[in-house]
Structure 1
Amino acid sequence: MIKLEGALYPWRFRLVLVLLALMSGAIAWRIIDLQVVDRDFLKEQGDARSMRHIPIPAHRGLITDRNGEPLAVSTPVITLWANGKELQAARDQWPRLAAALGQEPTTFAQRLEQNAGREFMYLVRGLTPEKGQSILDLKIPGVYSIEEFRRFYPAGEVTAHVVGFTDIDDRGREGMELAFDEWLAGVPGKRQVLKDRRGRLIKDVQVVKNAKAGKALALSIDLRLQYLAHRELRNAMQEFGAKAASLVMIDVKTGEILAMVNQPTYNPNNRRNLQPAAMRNRAMIDVFEPGSTVKPFSIAAALGTGRWKPESTVDTYPGSLQIGRYTIRDVSRGGVLNLTGILMKSSNVGISKIAFDIGAEPIYAVMQQAGLGQDTGLGFPGERVGNLPNYRVWKKAETATLAYGYGLSVTAVQLAHAYAVLANQGQNVPLSMVRLDNKPAPTQVIDREIAHTVLGMLQAVVEEPGGGGARAKVPGYHVGGKSGTARKAAVGSKGYVEHAYRSFFAGVAPIANPRIAVVVMIDEPSNGAYYGGLVSAPVFGKVMAGALRLMNIAPDDLPPAETQTADAKDGKGGRT
């Protein structure tokens, strides 16, 4: 006779029933809780699988010149992307899509095959809204769009080295775009949308967070002067067959950089065939020995010691000076020269003898205070400081070379800044690449009388016969400046490259009340001439003449009113 297990152990059966009842009750309570009491939980879970937040691109800040002319603007573009899985189901549409995108069908198909398992892949970025919409209108499954912004540079190659450019994601990569990236970059917004399980947009729900546009940036650059400098520098580079060239223009009163141009340059709007060498802002990145352009600062140091006066003389005959195994030479045979004559003749022998008398320390101090070989404080990406040597014990050769511009390295910006100090009555004003609303406080680094005296000597270099700067003259204005020619140091080895020179001209105008300092550097002119007075001085003269006119600066070298009246009566001054 067989007995049931439940009859032998009735309590076990009852226990199982109780457990089943408790489990059923728990499930029932959870269902009631989710559907009635805590309804938001399921709603949130459902939204998490259908609600999405997509970014709203932020408008990057406008970059302008000092007068409000646009240098970098953001324009809306369309970026097309695809769901690789969805596109697999529309293979017959691939040739049509490739043709619309302007891509080779076979290569395009291979790319889609490689990304078949991905839910996101870029098809093309930066299309115009019209072009992007025309492709979307094809209604090809799996093809979607994103609104973005692309940077456009109206001045193109003229301001490329200053403004720089952004990458495809609208992040600064060069120039002021990089230096002020956080300032210019906006804060993306956020939009809530409803999408189905395939990622297709069903409903645009709401804007959760508005995009915040980037801040505008007004540079110190004057686009009119930039175009002028660009044209003249390009013409000179072509005329003399030069390898490269740079020009820097500074407002001596405020320290604002009004123009900064380099050759060769590039078009930031089309960088497909961009050569890396063309991207360098040589005015800030390339360092060089400035040669005779620093002799005015050696003269200022001599005057500052009190041991030398403007009328003091030096015998430079026979135009050479032996220092150990080194020989210092002048271009001319020289003679007895005062301090102005030393600058006019650009006498290495004369300036060396002065340096031996006063020592290298005063010369070093003046050059350092004028900003040579020092940090400019501009914060420009990649800017180099150069080198102003300071020895514990100065040997005669080191003292002499410092005095006439060898053995130290500077940038074109530093050299222009140093001349701005001389022009500004010996006051050092910090440089700025951004337009200033208030004039910064200057620091007196060179005695006012000494600076005034040296400016008079620089005026003689340009205006007196035999000064070497005649090609830098500007009609109607008194101009002061100094040319320089320096041999190029060999890269990776000691010594200098044969027949390779840099030609300089640095100057200021108008002498009566200096407003502008300009430095021109032309690298390796090869068509015959290479002296700074022949190659760089004409560029300086043309750019300075145009700048003084554009800035409406009053002439300081006009004939007296009586002469003008007499000429008018004689018919010489009347209009034709």
Structure 2
Amino acid sequence: MSRDAPNGVTPRRPPPMAPMGRARYIVIMTLVLVGLGLLVGRIVDLHVFDHSFLQGQGDARTLRVDEIPAHRGMITDRHGDPLAISTPVVTLWANPQDLPDDGIQRLRLAQALGQDLDALDARIERYADREFMYLQRRMTPAEAQEVLDLHVPGVHARREYKRYYPAGEVTAQLLGVTNIDDQGQEGLELAYQPYLAGVPGKRRVLKDRRGRLVRDLEVLEDAQPGGDLTLSIDQSLQYMAYRELKKAVDENEADGGTLVMLDADTGEVLAMANQPSYNPNNRAGLDPEGLRNQAIVDVFEPGSVMKPLAMSALLETGKFPPDTVVDTSPGWMVIDGYTIRDVSNNGKLSLAGILRKSSNIGMSKLTLQLDEPRVPQRYRALGFDRAPGTGFPGEATGSVPSPQVWSSSQWAALSYGYGLSVSALQLASAYTAIANHGRRLPPSLLRLSKTPKGEPVIEPAVADRVLGMMDEVVAPGTGARRGMVPGYSVAGKTGTVRKTGSGGYQERTYRALFVGIAPVSDPRIIAVVMIDHPRGDAYYGGAIAAPVFSRVAGNALRLLDVPPDRPSQDDDA
């Protein structure tokens, strides 16, 4: 027994390490030491030799590139008066994870935002797992500052722009609107979106880990503001046209109406008004019906206002000398089983008398003497089968029927304005050919730097002759006498069109129209007035639409400083 062993127990010696176990141990320890050496070496390298890597990684977590909003271009009238401008606003946003749970702070925030506390709490809860939510879009800087002065953690501000329309509902359908991100959605705002929007800039900023701005560092790219757009509209004429149109629609309990006024020398649109309308600065409760620019995108059967244009085609054939007389008795006729009627039995009428009395019988009998479709050909030449080319979104093309489907009754109907569809802008543009010795001018919504040459579509002598006939239409004792303008000569034509429904033409449902050119001696303006479904006792174009033209044209000629050319003319109405 060993003397060192207590209690007589002999200790056991550890067995010697196996050769393979020792080798594995050495390999593992070597790998650990090599890995540790590499790690230390990398740390030394990053801190001493390649410290820019760590700096870059740090910057990537604190440096950001933010967008600098571009100022949207202004839209003005032809004189530079603003019609659409962008004003600076502030959008408040928050990181829901940073917002305090304290009920008092939440209540103060909700009150400053003008929001219900429960609704705000619900929104914060809904975005709890995100780092961004809007609190309030497009606030005035003063309103936003009141919220920021509360110093609520997690609340931040971002500068934006909001579109404002000084003329409100007066120019609503023409200009259109932008959405909450200041992008064009309707009208000219949409048509010229790339031009008006500009190009946002870029800036480098320093932010903390929660996305809060610490410091502006540098501007990388300056924002490029959008271009300004100068329209052909005269704001004074636009206000006046809108006021008179709205008054007529209200007084006659009509569904709506449209008024288009062109510069007879250039084809520029001086005024374009629609009813119903809306306030683009406050779209709460907006009726989508008011968004449409009816003058450009809607079409209708024009009726008798087409007769002067059809007459120009008839006169160019050479078959109807100035002394031509047409017997319209007994005031009705049957073609292909359809009855065509005049308002009354007008007996024998001259060519000018046919326009003055607005005789459907007279126009039909003249047209049916032709062997070729001269009237529809004239309509196409005047642009009634294609878009006006203004660039306005959704502009109507109109419709002239194909010659393969014409019957005698359809051929006759075209001569007095039935069987085709046109827009108010197309109609006004067609009459530039009558006012300009046969040259049709394309309509323009933008101010032109020079007068367009136009397209010759009517023989000059014929255009002048038709203009003279229309001068006789608007005279004392005629159905269009209410379209007269004191001090000025007026060439015009009325129209009263039955509207169609699911069962064909409807009873007591009409559109009242008037087309006028003034003054006759040197045409300066062309205007089309359409009142949709007047519900009063009167519904004829001469009674409903002509007075609107008279008031609008009279004011326009005076505002444009056009000298009177018929000061002795009196209205005996």
Smaller-chain TM-score range? over 0.9
- C-alpha distance 156-444 of structure 1, shift in aligned 2 (>3 A): same
Match of 1:235 in 2: 247
Q: What CA RMSD, in Å, does the superposition of the two structures yield over aligned residues?
A: 1.8
Note the C-alpha offset of 1:497: 1.6
Conserved in 2, the CA contact under 8 Å of 1:248 and 1:412? yes
Note the C-alpha offset of 1:48: 1.0
Determine which of 505, 525, 529 is the counterpart of 2:538: 529
Counterpart-to-counterpart distance in 1, 2:422 and 2:24: 97
Match of 2:278 in 1: 266
Counterpart-to-counterpart distance in 2, 1:204 and 1:143: 18
The SS at the match of 1:322 is strand
After TM superposition, the structure 1 stretch with the greater mean CA deviation from structure 2, 353-362 or 333-342, is: 353-362
Q: Deviations over 1:24-68 (max 9, x none)?
A: 332233223222222221111111111112221111000000000
Counterpart-to-counterpart distance in 1, 2:21 and 2:185: 83
Counterpart-to-counterpart distance in 2, 1:489 and 1:192: 62
Give the residue type in structure 2 aligned to 1:287: V
**Equivalent runs, 1:200-219 vs 2, <5 Å:** 200-219=212-231
Counterpart-to-counterpart distance in 2, 1:477 and 1:551: 13
Give the residue type in structure 2 aligned to 1:538: P
Counterpart-to-counterpart distance in 2, 1:332 and 1:205: 83
Counterpart-to-counterpart distance in 2, 1:320 and 1:281: 38
Match of 2:7 in 1: none
TM-score by length of 2: 0.94
Counterpart-to-counterpart distance in 1, 2:237 and 2:53: 65
Determine which of 358, 365, 382 is the counterpart of 1:346: 358
The SS at the match of 1:148 is strand
Determine which of 477, 487, 497 is the counterpart of 2:498: 487
Counterpart-to-counterpart distance in 1, 2:371 and 2:526: 29
Note the C-alpha offset of 1:5: 3.4
Counterpart-to-counterpart distance in 1, 2:563 and 2:379: 31
Match of 1:59 in 2: 71
Matched, 1:39 2:51: yes
Conserved in 1, the CA contact under 8 Å of 2:431 and 2:526? yes
Counterpart-to-counterpart distance in 1, 2:141 and 2:30: 68
After TM superposition, the structure 1 stretch with the greater mean CA deviation from structure 2, 28-37 or 415-424, is: 28-37
Matched, 1:500 2:509: yes
Q: Deviations over 1:490-538 (max 9, x none)?
A: 1xx2411221000000011111111211000001111110000111001
Q: Deviations over 1:394-433 (max 9, x none)?
A: 3111101111011101111111111112111111222111
The SS at the match of 2:261 is strand
The SS at the match of 1:392 is helix
Counterpart-to-counterpart distance in 1, 2:443 and 2:17: 100
Conserved in 2, the CA contact under 8 Å of 1:318 and 1:333? yes
Note the C-alpha offset of 1:161: 1.1
Note the C-alpha offset of 1:313: 1.2
Conserved in 2, the CA contact under 8 Å of 1:360 and 1:402? no
Match of 2:526 in 1: 517
Query: Which one has the largest radius of gyration?
Result: 2
Unaligned runs of 5+ in 2: 1-12
Counterpart-to-counterpart distance in 2, 1:427 and 1:520: 22
Q: Deviations over 1:89-136 (max 9, x none)?
A: 444411111111111122222222222222111111111100100110
Give the residue type in structure 2 aligned to 1:271: R
Give the residue type in structure 2 aligned to 1:525: P
Counterpart-to-counterpart distance in 2, 1:527 and 1:110: 53
Conserved in 2, the CA contact under 8 Å of 1:6 and 1:13? no
Counterpart-to-counterpart distance in 2, 1:396 and 1:161: 40
Match of 2:5 in 1: none
Q: Deviations over 1:280-301 (max 9, x none)?
A: 2111122110000000111111
Determine which of 308, 315, 318 is the counterpart of 1:303: 315
**Equivalent runs, 1:340-489 vs 2, <5 Å:** 340-359=352-371, 361-392=373-404, 394-463=406-475, 465-489=476-500
Counterpart-to-counterpart distance in 2, 1:466 and 1:355: 27
Give the residue type in structure 2 aligned to 1:333: N
Match of 1:127 in 2: 139
- C-alpha distance 155-393 of structure 1, shift in aligned 2 (>3 A): closer
**Equivalent runs, 1:169-318 vs 2, <5 Å:** 169-318=181-330
Conserved in 2, the CA contact under 8 Å of 1:232 and 1:542? yes
Match of 2:553 in 1: 544
- C-alpha distance 107-359 of structure 1, shift in aligned 2 (>3 A): farther
Conserved in 2, the CA contact under 8 Å of 1:90 and 1:141? no
Matched, 1:152 2:164: yes
Counterpart-to-counterpart distance in 1, 2:535 and 2:310: 30
Counterpart-to-counterpart distance in 2, 1:272 and 1:360: 55
Note the C-alpha offset of 1:556: 2.0
Q: Deviations over 1:254-283 (max 9, x none)?
A: 111110001111111111021111222111
Counterpart-to-counterpart distance in 1, 2:24 and 2:124: 64
The SS at the match of 1:204 is strand
Counterpart-to-counterpart distance in 2, 1:277 and 1:360: 41
- C-alpha distance 10-273 of structure 1, shift in aligned 2 (>3 A): closer
Unaligned runs of 5+ in 1: 561-576
Counterpart-to-counterpart distance in 1, 2:488 and 2:520: 8
Matched, 1:330 2:339: no
The SS at the match of 1:380 is coil
- C-alpha distance 135-7 of structure 1, shift in aligned 2 (>3 A): same
Counterpart-to-counterpart distance in 1, 2:311 and 2:371: 12
Note the C-alpha offset of 1:475: 1.8
Counterpart-to-counterpart distance in 1, 2:193 and 2:145: 30
After TM superposition, the structure 1 stretch with the greater mean CA deviation from structure 2, 220-229 or 19-28, is: 19-28
Determine which of 300, 319, 328 is the counterpart of 2:331: 319
Counting matched residue pairs gives 557
The SS at the match of 2:145 is helix
Note the C-alpha offset of 1:6: 7.0
TM-score by length of 1: 0.93
